[in-house]
């Protein structure tokens, strides 16, 4: 049973650039959520996608955007990168209507 | 807004001993879920145990059990027979239904647990 996968594992970008992170949900799951985890902190909710639409959004600026594809995989895009965007980005998948989320291994983004 | 507080930034326990991690939360909701997640140095967030608020019985998963006190808004995790592989960050998390089939997790800041040989 394939779990949640994310790519790339690590990424280094320069301030002002744009980045795209990718996530494939656990087999059978249809909902994808994205979280940002700064060093030494708990994850913070960015947004959640179901049926290719953003269903919920946390307190993040419009520079953070996403997409969900018909096969339920998802992308997280961040524009105009800031140093403060350096973090571990976690993707989690679930079945719609289920509170239980399963996480991928994360993408470590470093902005210099 | 919901908040989750973990008051123990770091804890240590001897191998084979028992340790309890604390978590409190604040919500006005009556129906919700609580979770404990484990994040080892490999950084993969692993679901350890879940508790539905409507269930009075405390959840148990092998060596892991919770003490859920709904009135006190307390949700502690007990790890019995601690093993070296239990060394990790432990996060308490809260979720409630947000509409349109959506749930979002709110996490505490975590407790770093070290199991000492």
Q: What is the pLDDT of residue B31?
A: 87
Q: What is the pLDDT of residue A9?
A: 95
* More reliable by pLDDT, B101 or B33: B33
pLDDT (average), residues B35-60: 92
pLDDT (average), residues B51-56: 90
Q: What is the pLDDT of residue B104?
A: 86
With CA atoms as reference, the chain B residue closest to A53 would be B100
- The region that residue A102 occupies, defined by phi over 0 for left and psi between -120 and 50 for alpha, beta otherwise, is beta
* More reliable by pLDDT, A1 or B109: B109
Q: What is the pLDDT of residue B34?
A: 95
Residues of chain B with C-beta less than 8 angstroms from the C-beta of A104: 44
CA B67 to chain A, closest CA, distance in angstroms equals: 19
pLDDT (average), residues B59-64: 96
DSSP label at residue A84 = G
Are A100 and B46 a contacting pair at CB < 8 A? no
Please give the interface size between A and B, counted as residue pairs whose CB atoms are below 8 Å apart. Answer: 76
User: Which segments in chain A show pLDDT lower than 70?
Assistant: 1
Residues of chain A with C-beta less than 8 angstroms from the C-beta of B35: 100
CA distances from A62 to A47, A59, A81, B76 (A): 11, 10, 12, 36
Query: Helix, strand, or coil here: B44?
Result: coil
- Contact predicate B66/B75, CB 8 Å: yes
**Residue B111: strand pairing partners:** B90
pLDDT (average), residues B2-6: 93
Q: What is the pLDDT of residue B100?
A: 64
Q: What is the pLDDT of residue B101?
A: 65
Mutation pick from B45, B59, B88 vs chain A, by most beta carbons of A within 10 Å, is: B45
CA B16 to chain A, closest CA, distance in angstroms equals: 27
Q: How confident is the model at residue B99 (pLDDT cuts 50, 70, 90)?
A: low
Report the mean per-residue pLDDT for chain B: 93
Q: What percent of chain B is predicted at pLDDT more than 70?
A: 97
Q: What is the largest CA-CA distance in chain B?
A: 48
Q: How confident is the model at residue B30 (pLDDT cuts 50, 70, 90)?
A: confident
């Amino acid at each position: 049973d394939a779990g949640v996968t994310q790519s790339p594992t690590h990424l280094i970008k320069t301030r002002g650039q744009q980045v795209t992170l990718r996530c494939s949900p656990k087999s059978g799951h249809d909902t994808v959520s994205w979280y940002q985890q700064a060093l030494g902190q708990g994850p913070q909710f960015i947004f959640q996608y179901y049926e290719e639409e953003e269903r919920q959004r946390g307190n993040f600026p419009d520079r953070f955007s996403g997409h969900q594809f018909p096969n339920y995989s998802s992308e997280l895009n961040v524009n105009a990168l800031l140093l403060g965007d350096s973090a571990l980005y976690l993707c989690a998948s679930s079945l719609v209507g289920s509170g239980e989320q399963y996480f991928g291994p994360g993408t470590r983004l470093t902005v210099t | 807004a919901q908040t989750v507080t973990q008051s123990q930034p770091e804890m240590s326990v001897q191998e084979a001993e028992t340790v309890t991690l604390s978590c409190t939360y604040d919500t006005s909701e009556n129906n919700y879920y609580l979770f404990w997640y484990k994040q080892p140095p490999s950084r993969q967030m692993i679901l350890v145990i879940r508790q539905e608020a409507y269930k009075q019985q405390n959840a148990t998963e092998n060596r892991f059990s919770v003490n859920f006190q709904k009135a006190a808004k307390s949700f502690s995790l007990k790890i019995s027979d601690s093993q070296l592989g239990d060394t990790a960050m432990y996060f308490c998390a809260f979720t409630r239904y947000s509409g349109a089939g959506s749930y979002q997790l709110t996490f505490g800041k975590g407790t770093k647990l070290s199991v000492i040989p």
